[in-house]
C-alpha cells in the first residue's frame, strides 16, 4: 500500500450561476471540506478558514484520491489559498477522470457506488448548498464525510478487484476494468 492515501471532497457556498459560470470555481467558497487519511486512520473536517491546514494535509499525502477533485475541488481551493498550486501536490488519482477515459463519458459517483457497493450517496451538492443557506453546517459535514467514505470504498474495491461496476444510462449494470493498484 502506498503510504498515506488521503481521500478528499469539499462542498461549496455558492453555485456556478452565483459566481458567473463554471470558469469562476475559485469564487464558489468552501462550506466544508472533508478528508480521510489512511496514515492517520481518521476523518478530518475543515471550514473555509482552515484551508491552509487542509492544503498542508493534501501536500503531505503520498496519494490524493477523489471524484472530480482535480477539475472542481482543486479549482475551488485556488480561491482561498494564494499559494495553492495543484502541481505542488503529490500524485492525485481522480476516479472520475480515470473512469471517463475508460468509458468515453462522464459518470456520477452515485452510479458507480450503487452498482459496486450496493449503496449510493445520501444527498447531492445542491442539498449541501441549501443546508449552507440554512446554516446547517453539521449536515454538510456529515454528507461530505459520507461522500469521502463512498469514494474510499469504491477506490478500495477497484484496487482489490481490478474493476468497478456502474449503472449505464439505461440502468443496466456494467463492469469497468481499472488499474488503481498503488505504485
Residue 122 has φ and ψ, to the nearest 5°, of -95, -15
Let me know if residue 123 belongs to a domain: yes
Mean pLDDT by 10 residues, the chain (183 residues): 85 88 89 95 93 90 93 88 73 92 92 88 72 84 91 95 91 91 70
Confidence at residue 183, expressed as pLDDT on a 0 to 100 scale: 59
Let me know if residue 11 belongs to a domain: yes
Let me know if residue 73 belongs to a domain: yes
Confidence at residue 94, expressed as pLDDT on a 0 to 100 scale: 93
Confidence at residue 50, expressed as pLDDT on a 0 to 100 scale: 92
For the entire predicted model, the pTM comes to 0.90
Residue 2 has φ and ψ, to the nearest 5°, of -80, 90
Let me know if residue 74 belongs to a domain: yes
Task: Supply the range of the domain harboring residue 68.
Answer: 5-95+104-177
Query: Of 43, 9, 7, 25, nearest to 124 (Cα)?
Result: 9
**Which CATH number belongs to the domain containing residue 116 in this structure?**
3.30.420.10
Let me know if residue 35 belongs to a domain: yes
Confidence at residue 122, expressed as pLDDT on a 0 to 100 scale: 64
Confidence at residue 177, expressed as pLDDT on a 0 to 100 scale: 95
Let me know if residue 119 belongs to a domain: yes
Let me know if residue 183 belongs to a domain: no
Confidence at residue 1, expressed as pLDDT on a 0 to 100 scale: 45
Confidence at residue 58, expressed as pLDDT on a 0 to 100 scale: 92
Contact 115, 108 (CB under 8 A): no
Q: How many domains does the chain have?
A: 1
Let me know if residue 182 belongs to a domain: no
Amino acid at each position: 500500500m502506498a503510504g498515506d492515501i488521503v481521500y478528499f471532497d469539499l462542498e461549496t457556498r455558492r453555485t456556478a450561476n452565483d459566481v458567473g459560470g463554471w470558469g469562476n470555481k475559485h469564487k464558489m467558497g468552501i462550506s466544508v471540506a472533508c478528508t480521510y487519511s489512511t496514515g492517520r486512520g481518521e476523518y478530518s473536517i475543515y471550514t473555509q478558514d482552515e484551508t491552509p491546514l487542509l492544503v498542508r494535509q493534501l501536500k503531505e499525502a503520498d496519494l490524493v484520491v477523489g471524484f472530480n477533485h482535480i477539475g472542481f475541488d482543486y479549482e475551488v481551493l485556488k480561491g482561498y489559498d494564494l499559494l495553492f498550486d495543484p502541481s505542488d501536490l503529490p500524485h492525485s488519482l481522480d476516479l472520475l477522470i480515470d473512469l471517463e477515459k475508460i468509458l468515453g463519458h462522464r459518470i456520477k459517483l452515485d452510479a458507480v457506488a450503487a452498482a459496486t457497493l450496493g449503496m449510493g450517496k445520501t444527498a447531492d451538492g445542491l442539498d449541501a448548498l441549501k443546508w449552507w443557506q440554512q446554516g446547517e453546517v453539521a449536515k454538510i459535514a456529515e454528507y461530505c464525510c459520507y461522500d469521502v467514505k463512498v469514494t474510499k470504498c469504491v477506490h478500495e474495491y477497484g484496487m482489490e478487484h481490478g474493476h468497478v461496476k456502474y449503472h449505464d444510462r439505461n440502468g443496466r449494470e456494467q463492469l469497468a476494468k481499472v488499474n488503481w493498484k498503488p505504485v
